[in-house]
Amino acid sequence: MNVDATTSRIEVPSGDLTLSVQVAGTGPLVILMHGWPELGLSWRHQVAPLAAAGHTVAVPDMRGFGGSGKPADVGAYDLDSLADDMAAVAAHLGARTWVAVGDDWGAFVAWRCALRFPDAVRGVFSIGVPYIPSDTRPRSSATDTEGFFYVRYFQEVGLAEAELEADVHGSLRHIFFALSGGAPQDAWLTPRPATSRLREGLVEPPPGPLSFLPDDVLERFAAAYRAGGFFGPVSWYRNGMANAAQAAAYGDGRIRQPAGFLAGEREIVLSINPDGRQAQRALIDDLRVDRIVPDAGHWLAQERPAEVTATLLEFLAELPAPVVAR
């Protein structure tokens, strides 16, 4: 299902920038937040079914991505600012309460929204990223190693941008395959020298279209990154210390809203943080969904759209009634 056939595009002001947001349906608001290196287009399979079930569905290109504003300051991509963008979307649409749904980096934003706007966010759902306060996130052997680690590689401004922008289509195809359920387990974390570049250690995709991403859709992703570059998207990774410092402002950091978690069995985040799924159970008061999709990878909304859609509909249907604007 093509997202453009079921939605309209609006421009939403948020501070000094403007967000490009796809909106469909009427009813209680659900905001779908994508991750890296994706776009609102990543939710193309979920928009129409959620709207048909009686929800207003807002799908932004997140700050730095696609048609949304791209600040030139690395510090503009911290989690509090990203959460404020989502609150701006809700305010623009007149929603007093809303549900935050995030995938990958979007999940970090969704969790932060639940903490930052406890009276407005009536439910939070994460795909792939268990809730662990950013200042206490456990480290794994993958992050401790002295060899290549992608988060470290992303810290030097311009380095990853130059590599990825040299062949945008090829870079995206390579990354999408390497983190999918069709790639060898944890190939993303294959040990290699610290001086490696990102793509040097990634398994090559097979010939032909990716099973979950037709060539024409991949080209839509590529066109957006050719136009907007990778500085903004990669800068999300450059605010770890700021995000951890901000987390301290939210007291015990508990998630008190109804919450859900869904991940692929081959989810790379669970390989990096193998105790994360168990740890979040002690930090969430009302974890209503906690499921693993067999054989699926990182791009769950695209790889297993039916399972994601059905699980979201189930979660949304069981939430308490929303507050209606007066």
Which residues fall within 8 angstroms of residue 125, CB to CB, at 6 or more apart? 99, 100, 101, 102, 110, 259, 260, 261, 262, 289, 312, 315
d(CA 321, CA 28): 9
- Catalytic pick among 34, 45, 174, 298: 298
Name the maximum alpha-carbon separation found in the chain.
59
Tokens in use for 174?
Answer: 């390579």
Catalytic residue at 298?
yes
- Catalytic pick among 34, 85, 104, 174: 104
d(CA 165, CA 173): 13
Sheet hosting strand 121-127, strand order edge to edge: 8-14, 17-24, 56-60, 29-33, 98-103, 121-127, 255-264, 284-293
Catalytic residue at 55?
no
The H or E element that residue 286 is part of is: strand 284-293
Asked whether the beta carbons of 41 and 109 are under 8 A apart, the reply is: no
Q: Which of 257, 231, 273, 266 is nearest to 134 (CA)?
A: 273
Active site residues: 104, 298
